[in-house]
Structure 1
Amino acid sequence: MEVTKLFSVKDQTVLVTGGSRGIGKMISEAFVRNGAKVYISSRDKKACDQTAAELTAFGPGQCIAIPSDLGTDAGIDHLVTSLKERESKLDVLINNSGAVWGGGFEAHTEKAWHKIMDLNVKAPFFLIKRLLEIMDRNSRIINIGSVAGCLPQPDIGTFAYDTSKAAIHHLTRVLALELAPRGITVNAIAPGFVPTKMSKQISTATGLGMDELAHGVPLQRAGRDFDMAGAAIYYASPAGAWVTGTILTVDGGQIGAASAGFSGASKL
């Protein structure tokens, strides 16, 4: 197969939750630029609408906003209903919406714990469950995890977030087994340090500047938009058709180095 076809996502219908900014926006832009129809969702209607207009201008694909708060049952219901009214088939579901809560052990109230778990774990599970009706044997599910779900992150205090990302990694493996008979693949991307609004909170928590955090990565740089986009397109294209139940760490070598015992590699 030609390389252009091997990694093609042209004419796919894609849903990216949390697609209005950060990693979700990076991934959404790549799909639009490569000819897909991309639906994005976030609870911020203004940001969602602005991003949809911005990405559609890139073409040749298009981006459509469906603002929804996926931290609530009503928000999940709104997104599912709205998408099904527009589409009879979904090729790719990318569960990217997420929240973080820092401040250390004492700051993790029950309310904070439930907020993180509802958005980071509960919402992806029930979106998958309810959208299976419009997915077929060629559909792909991509969950966005984190290196924080692979190794403990010292001095940050993001207990609920780290736990939720470990949960989404294992949920990915469980659902891959469950949905394999249907021909639906389920994989995850575990990003490392990528400059986003969320990563700025890590900078604040550690007292390290963004450049200092990037120097803690073995490849000596932060993640870029094409790093995130490339991983997602691989999973969604024919190239990733025989891959399921995997957690792809896209982190500049952070997890590999930390697992080998190199100091300083797991400071993100």
Structure 2
Amino acid sequence: MDINKLFDVKDKVVLVTGGGRGIGLMIATGFVSAGAKVYISSRTASVCDKDLANVSRSLQICLLWKNANDWLKNYLSMNHLDVLVNNSGTNYNATIEEYPDDMFDKVLNLNLKRIFTLTQACLPLLKSNATGDSPSRVINIGSVDGIRPPPQTTFAYSASKAGLHHLTKHMASQLGEENILFNTVAPGAFRSKMMKATLDAFEEVIKSKIPLGRIGEPEDIAGTVLYLSSRAGQYTTGAVIVVDGGVVAGAKL
């Protein structure tokens, strides 16, 4: 066992969707710091340029959903992809009586369907360099809200994340023989755009209900994803790894 290479991701080619802010930015920064070649996508390219100047390129996410494999190969001269991190997502909060169909569709579409679509489009790149000794990885960012019902009335969000957790397991069972590993990370409370308003109003209350007593930090999420992307995580597929400071185990939040 070479302990020095156990968590090594140097020179791996990585694509992080929604990598310009929040958890996606934390993950992308971790890969960059570890020596990976990182591409990020964002619905707002200026956010990527401003917040992650060391990352290789900024991509418009709308260009990725259709013909992603050809676009990445032709525009970026990318001939393989080692790690795809499906992080981009959205949320909507409304009472059950007022929850609109179009917003339910929007959340399910981006958080679940488009993850399948992008992964499907990237399969040729994921397969091209994958071997039993060096498999490719797809890491989906789920949520603790896909494991337990959240206190907020975010019905489509929790349903989409629960669906994503199961989709990950299904794809893991189908593509293991192609040397592609599929796993989900289910974060709890981290400082992100999606969580900002909630933390601004209720941070101390939220922390009081987390067994570890704090909000997640960039190292917490980046370290988990680096493990899944390295030799250390090479026998892990079809897993949902909870990174929440004990919220689900404590069932207090």
User: Smaller-chain TM-score range?
Assistant: over 0.9
2:64 and 2:71 in contact (8 A); partners too: no
SS at match of 2:66: helix
Question: Partners of 1:214 and 1:67 in 2: how far apart?
Answer: 35
Alignment of 1:112-131 (within 5 A): 112-131=103-122
Secondary structure of residue in 2 paired with 1:189:
strand
State the Cα distance separating 1:215 from its structure 2 match. 1.7
Task: Pick one of 25, 42, 57 that aligns with 1:64.
Answer: 57
Find the residue that maps to 1:209 and give its secondary structure. helix
The alpha carbon displacement at 1:80 in A equals 4.2
Q: Aligned match of 1:104 in 88, 95, 98?
A: 95
Deviation at 1:68, TM superposition (A): 1.8
State the SS of the aligned residue for 1:10: coil
Pick the aligned partner of 1:77 from 52, 56, 66. 66
Deviates more, 1:249-258 or 1:98-107: 98-107
> Which amino acid counterpart does residue 43 of structure 1 have in structure 2?
R
Equivalent in 157, 162, 170 of residue 174 of structure 1? 170
Residue 256 of structure 1: how far off its partner (Å): 1.1
Q: Give the C-alpha shift of residue 38 in structure 1.
A: 0.6
Q: How does 1:128-143 map to 2 (within 5 A)?
A: 128-135=119-126, 136-137=130-131, 138-143=135-140
Pairing 1:1-268 to 2, within 5 Å after superposition: 1-53=1-53, 56=54, 62-69=55-62, 75-77=64-66, 79-85=68-74, 86=76, 87-135=78-126, 136-137=130-131, 138-154=135-151, 156-203=152-199, 208-258=201-251, 265=252, 267=253
One-letter code aligned to 2:157: Y
User: What runs of 5+ residues in structure 1 fail to find an aligned partner?
Assistant: 57-61, 259-264
- Write the letter of the residue equivalent to 1:195: R
Q: Say whether the 8 Å CA contact 1:223–1:251 is kept in structure 2.
A: yes
**What's the secondary structure of 2:186's corresponding residue?**
strand
> In percent, how many aligned pairs have the same letter?
41
Ranges in structure 2 where 5+ consecutive residues have no aligned partner? none
Once the two structures are superposed, residues 124-149 of structure 1 have per-residue CA deviations (whole angstroms, 9 ceiling, x without a partner) of 10111111101123100000000000
Give 1:8's aligned amino acid.
D
Listed one character per residue, the Cα deviations across residues 206-228 of structure 1 (whole Å, up to 9, x for unaligned) are xx521221221001011000000
Q: How far off its partner does 1:75 sit?
A: 4.8
Could you say which structure has the greater relative contact order, defined with CA pairs below 8 angstroms and 6 or more residues apart? 2
What is the distance in 2 between the residues matched to 1:218 and 1:99? Answer: 27
Give TM-score scaled by structure 2 length: 0.92
Residues 103-123 of structure 1: per-residue CA shift (max 9 Å, x gap):
221332110011101110011
Counterpart of 2:24, as a letter, is: G
Q: Is the 8 Å Cα contact of residues 68 and 78 (structure 1) preserved in structure 2? A: no
1:78, distance to aligned residue in structure 2 (A): 6.4
